[in-house]
Amino acid sequence: MGENRGWVAVVDDEASVRKALSRVLRSAEYAVDTFATAEEFFSAKSAEGPKCAILDLAMPGIGGLEIQARIVAEKLDYGVVFLTGRGDIRSSVDAMKLGAVDFLTKPVDDALLFAAVDEALAQQSIELADRNRVADVRARFSELTNREREVLELIVTGKLNKQIAAELGISEKTVKAHRAQVMRKTHSGSLAMLVRLHMALQTE
Amino acid sequence: MNLGAGSVILIELALVLAVDIQSAEFLLRQFGLALFVTIMSLIWFVYVYLRAGSRWLIWIIGLLWSFTIIADITISGSFTHTQIGELRAFETFWGEPYTLAVGQMTSWKYVTDVASVLICVFLLHAMLAAWRDGRRQRAVLVGGGSIAFIVIAGILVPLQDAGIIKVPLITSAAFLAIVIALAVQLIDEAFRANASRLEVEQLRRAMILGEMVGGLAHEINQPLAAILSNAQAASRFMKADNVDLDEIREIIDDIIADEKRASGFIRSLRQMLERKEHEIVSADVNAIVKSAARIMAGELHTHDVTLYMELQPALDSVRIDPLQIQQVLINLLLNAVRATAELPRLRREVTIQTSRYEQGVEVVVLDRGPGIQDGQKAMLFEAFVSRSKGGLGMGLAICKRIVERFGGKIWVEDRAGGGSMLRFTLPLAEPEN
């Protein structure tokens, strides 16, 4: 299935519902995997890239909320959509706090379902892109030498070359050279951009 | 109360029969005691039935009467039984007016007269109280009937004893009329009580369903969800260039199966809620257990409780009302789920067992919940004692009533390893001769 609208995992303990959801998703060109339990879901090998997980809220054994918590904790590439036979407010609040895209009640209309799945996939693509960018920035920063890193830490606090030179006990000229290396290695076009990238790494 | 009322009628009937069958002499000997028993039961019956009247008046009347009865026996102890009869009935008093112990006898007579007046006061008082409460029909029928009884007894007996009315059957006919009036009232009340019991049971069934509305919604939503997604999938597949007819056929079969499942479930709910008279048939308890489990499926699912069924195959059938026993089972299962819901997942299991014992079939519902404290075990089956915080507590009282109606027993025991066992028995019907 080369051309598809995205990968969807359906986790529902009820066979008839699982089968029907799989069919309706396949009819709209999604690639679908179905799982009866959380254990099956976590032990299966999933495709690379952004994916959507449609989780049944109440299942014997591990329920949807716990699956979502594990997806979040392990940073798995799944956007989560909940599907439940009885939508109670408490669980939907919990689910949304953990970043679920939508909380749908059964029976679900296909248009609503597809919209939620698409949103989950889009959200995952953005998150994945973010994650890739951060990884990229980290890689660039890891190229810096120890001295360059020392200079960087002082640059981002807004210190002038002269002050940095005095603090590190080196010449102002050497500081300038290190500074140029830092800007080049981190692909920063300006001091503002360098500060932003640095901050992105700190918050990660 | 019913028992008391029944005993009143029985005693009264016995008295009436005695009047009819026995000779006048024997009647006279028995009359004092029989009348005492009758009147005391009547007073007690009025007191209990109308829930009115004063208790101390009953005591005084009782004491006065027993005093005269004892006095009759002990003081006239030297006399024969015939003489006691003469003394009580005053027949000899008229026939031989100048015999011994006249003074003594008249003083006893006053004591009985005081008692009779007090009885009338008691009855009037109780009747008025009931009337003021708005229970007018009861007050007039029972209170009025009782007063008529006393008045007739008070007037007819001396007249008859005096030889003015010679036929003792008149007295008994008057008694009989009153007994019948009271019986009619009682039967009417009993009939209504039975009708309202039916209503309570039906209401309880509705409440049970209300308590598990989430689970019920789940049971209907699942097939509906599958039907909708299947239909929408089929509709989209049909728009493809080359339609896979096999897949479409498969989808339609699944839609039909899911519809059957949903409508079957709704049918079982409707049966449970339909108001109908009890229908006692020869039934298979295992089948009823399965139908109860079917209705409970969603509730078990939403509380993440696993139900194990250990049903002894080929159980003898028992004569019961399947709907009522299903209600008992659902009630017990619901209690077990409630007791289990807070437990860690591994202990969230409920087991239901059926087995044959010498006299019939036994059903056990086991859970791993906190169990029932010893002090509460007996009270558990009283109305308004609730096991679960949210429950209305009527559940087990109704279960007990239903099980006992079919000759069974219901009780609770501790389960080894924690939790409780609710057990009930249903005896086999006696083979008809």
pLDDT in tens, A153-185: 899 888 889 999 998 899 999 999 999 999 998
B237: contact with A, CB 8 A cutoff: yes
Distance CA B367, CA B333 (A): 9
> What is the pLDDT at residue B104?
40
Confidence of residue B422 (pLDDT cuts 50, 70, 90): very high
> What is the pLDDT at residue A32?
95
Q: What is the mean pLDDT of residues B312-334?
A: 90
Is the per-residue pLDDT at A87 higher than 50?
Answer: yes
Of B80-94, B171-185, B203-217, the one with minimum mean pLDDT is: B80-94
Is the per-residue pLDDT at B289 higher than 90?
Answer: yes
> What is the pLDDT at residue A139?
87
Q: Which run of H or of E encompasses B351?
A: strand B349-357
What does the block give as tokens for B32? 């004092």
Confidence of residue B192 (pLDDT cuts 50, 70, 90): confident
> What is the pLDDT at residue B392?
44
B243: contact with A, CB 8 A cutoff: no
Residues in chain B: 433
The DSSP result for B363-429, as a single string, is EEEE--SS---GGGTTGGGSTT--SSSSS-S-HHHHHHHHHHHTT--EEEEEPTTSSEEEEEEEEPP
Residue partners of B82: CB distance under 8 A and separation at least 6: B25, B29
Cβ–Cβ under 8 Å, residues B265 and B202: no
Q: What is the mean pLDDT of residues B139-152?
A: 70
> What is the pLDDT at residue B359?
86
Residue with the two structure tokens 């050497």: A174
Rounded to the nearest angstrom, the minimum Cα separation between B232 and chain A is 6
Comparing CB atoms, the residue among B221, B229, B232 nearest residue A85 is: B221
| Rounded CA Rg of chain A | 24
> Cβ separation of B304 and A58 shorter than 8 Å?
yes
Rounded to the nearest angstrom, the minimum Cα separation between B233 and chain A is 4
> What is the pLDDT at residue B175?
63
Say which residue, B66 or B34, is predicted with more confidence: B66
**In terms of CA atoms, which chain B residue is nearest residue A58?**
B302
Confidence of residue B97 (pLDDT cuts 50, 70, 90): very low
Please identify among residues 83-102 of chain A the ones whose CB lies closer than 8 Å to any CB of chain B: 83, 85-86, 88
In one letter, which amino acid is B95? G
Is the per-residue pLDDT at B194 higher than 50?
Answer: yes
What does the block give as tokens for B373? 């404290």
In chain A, which residues have their Cβ closer than 8 Å to the Cβ of B301? 58, 60
Output phi, psi for B71, to 5 deg: -60, -45
Confidence of residue B225 (pLDDT cuts 50, 70, 90): very high
Comparing CB atoms, the residue among A14, A21, A27 nearest residue B236 is: A27
Strand order in B306-311's β-sheet?
A: B306-311, B349-357, B360-366, B420-427, B410-414
Of A22-36, B298-312, B376-390, the one with minimum mean pLDDT is: B376-390
Residue with the two structure tokens 């429950």: B391
> What is the pLDDT at residue B107?
56
> What is the pLDDT at residue B396?
84
Pick the residue of A27, A56, A65 with the most B CBs within 10 A to test the interface with B by mutation.
Answer: A27
Strand pairing category for B281-283 and B349-357 = unpaired
Q: What is the mean pLDDT of chain B?
A: 74
Cβ–Cβ under 8 Å, residues A194 and A155: yes
Distance CA A56, CA A64 (A): 5
> What is the pLDDT at residue B31?
57
3-state secondary structure of A56: strand
The 10s digit of each residue's pLDDT in B232-245 is 999 999 998 888 99
3-state secondary structure of B149: helix
> What is the pLDDT at residue B258?
94
Cβ–Cβ under 8 Å, residues B305 and B349: yes
The 10s digit of each residue's pLDDT in A105-142 is 889 999 999 999 999 999 999 988 888 888 888 888 88
> What is the pLDDT at residue B430?
65
Cβ–Cβ under 8 Å, residues B84 and B152: no
* Total-model pTM: 0.59
Is the per-residue pLDDT at A40 higher than 90?
Answer: yes
A197: contact with B, CB 8 A cutoff: no
> Cβ separation of A106 and B304 shorter than 8 Å?
no
Is the per-residue pLDDT at B83 higher than 50?
Answer: no
Cα distances from B381 to residues B53, B320, B400, in angstroms, run: 31, 20, 7
Burial degree of A123 (CB within 10 A; 0-12, 13-18, 19+): middle
Q: What is the mean pLDDT of residues A10-34?
A: 94
Is the per-residue pLDDT at B27 higher than 70?
Answer: no
Q: What is the mean pLDDT of residues B285-289?
A: 94
Say which residue, B75 or A153, is predicted with more confidence: A153
The torsion region of residue A78 among left (phi > 0), alpha (psi -120 to 50) and beta comes to: beta
Comparing CB atoms, the residue among A28, A59, A107 nearest residue B225 is: A107
3-state secondary structure of A5: coil
Q: What is the mean pLDDT of residues B37-42?
A: 72
Distance CA B414, CA A193 (A): 71
> What is the pLDDT at residue B209?
78
Strand order in A31-35's β-sheet?
A: A31-35, A7-11, A51-56, A78-84, A102-105
Rounded to the nearest angstrom, the minimum Cα separation between A88 and chain B is 9
What does the block give as tokens for B162? 């005096």
Q: Long-range contacts: B17-25, Cβ < 8 Å, 24+?
A: B19/B168, B19/B169, B19/B171, B19/B172, B19/B175, B20/B169, B20/B172, B24/B168, B25/B82, B25/B85
Distance CA B312, CA B323 (A): 21
Of A124-128, B125-129, B378-382, the one with minimum mean pLDDT is: B378-382
